[in-house]
Amino acid sequence: MYTYKKSGNTYILSLDNHVSLVEALTAFCREHDILSGSVRGLGAVSSATFRYLNPAAKAYVDRTFDEQMELTCIEGNISRKDGQVYLHIHVTASRSDYSCIGGHLLDCRINGACELFVEDLGVAVGRRLDPATGLNLYDL
Ligand code: FE
């Protein structure tokens, strides 16, 4: 699912072709006991699903784009919710006409490469559901 090398508290991570980014990164965090961290990187995908929150309705609208795109920016964080790895990732994706779309990433399918830096912050950070916003916020 991935290969990696560690330098200090940072992992240099390459996801295998055709994997789900969320599945592969979740497995990596679980297998390396990462309780909190930051993620940044780039890659290419054949499909990506974004999740848009309508704050008034506290409802999500998901939309999938089935096309080859470059992930020009992957920016996210790692925490835990109820003991399980919890990823919060935003991406910007560049289309074949060089325009960009982006948002909160639900998941995407790697098609080409995905190169990440994962910084292990070495401290437990949890999340809890905030009824006011309907979001799983940091529980610090
Ligand atoms: Fe988000």
Q: Is 74's pLDDT higher than 90?
A: yes
- Compute how many other C-beta atoms are within 10 angstroms of the C-beta atom of residue 20: 17
Distance from residue 19's CA to the centre of ligand 1 (Å): 21
Distance from residue 132's CA to the centre of ligand 1 (Å): 16
Distance from residue 68's CA to the centre of ligand 1 (Å): 22
Percentage of the chain exceeding pLDDT 70: 100
Distance from residue 5's CA to the centre of ligand 1 (Å): 28
Q: Is the pTM of this model over 0.75?
A: yes
Once rounded to an integer, what is the mean pLDDT over residues 29-51?
98
Q: Which residue type is seen at 37?
A: G
Domains and CATH numbers, the chain: 2-130 (3.30.1330.80)
pLDDT the model gives residue 55: 85
Distance from residue 12's CA to the centre of ligand 1 (Å): 23
pLDDT the model gives residue 58: 82
Residues 14, 1: Cα–Cα separation, whole Å: 9
Distance from residue 44's CA to the centre of ligand 1 (Å): 20
Tell me the pLDDT tens digit for each residue of 127-139. 999 998 889 999 9
Q: Is 57's pLDDT higher than 90?
A: no
Distance from residue 58's CA to the centre of ligand 1 (Å): 13
**Core vs surface per residue 74-94: b (16+ CB within 10 A) or e:** bebbbbbeeeebbbbbebbbb
Distance from residue 7's CA to the centre of ligand 1 (Å): 28
pLDDT grade, residue 69 (50/70/90)? very high
